[in-house]
Amino acid sequence: DENNFKSYSFNSKNNTLSLFNLDNTLWKTVALNIPDDTFLDEILDISSDKINQNPDIEIVYTTYMETYSNVFDDVETIVYENYTLFIVNELGEEILKVDGGRTFNLIKDNKSGKVFLIDVYPDEEFFPEYKKTFVYSLY
């Protein structure tokens, strides 16, 4: 079955994710939306049936951008990491973008279908008390 891939690799030079079959042959390559001055943080999910009902592959991933703050000359520089969560399809088309998004959970609701819980952190290391959870539905 072509939907059973074993692994993936990310090419940071051209921001593409390559998906491989069980025999390590290339199955698909997907362009990820990674804005300038940001970096891939984590691939959270790759699926053909969790996000919607079409046969396309959807990829859930996070990016981050580091910003620096040096308010006083005698204090060390503080680094803030700003995260964004993306869901894209195999054509690289953006399905959902959540500024500050760090985690992704999928739950099923018998009435409305699938619902996504996305945790948003302004900066987890320095401000963990500001974590918020948002609920999204694509239906």
Indicate the number of domains in the chain: 1
Count of Cβ atoms closer than 10 Å to residue 16 Cβ: 15
CA dihedral 88, 89, 91, 96 (to 10 degrees): -40
pLDDT tens, position by position, for the chain (139 residues)? 345 667 899 999 999 999 998 888 999 999 998 988 899 999 988 888 777 777 888 899 999 888 766 666 666 666 667 888 898 999 989 988 888 888 777 776 655 555 566 666 555 555 555 666 666 666 5
pTM: predicted TM-score of the whole model, two decimal places: 0.77
Give the residue numbers spanning the domain of 73: 5-137
Is residue 81 within 8 Å of 74, Cβ to Cβ?
no
What residue type is 36 in one-letter code? D
Give the bridge partners for 18, in sequence order: 9, 29
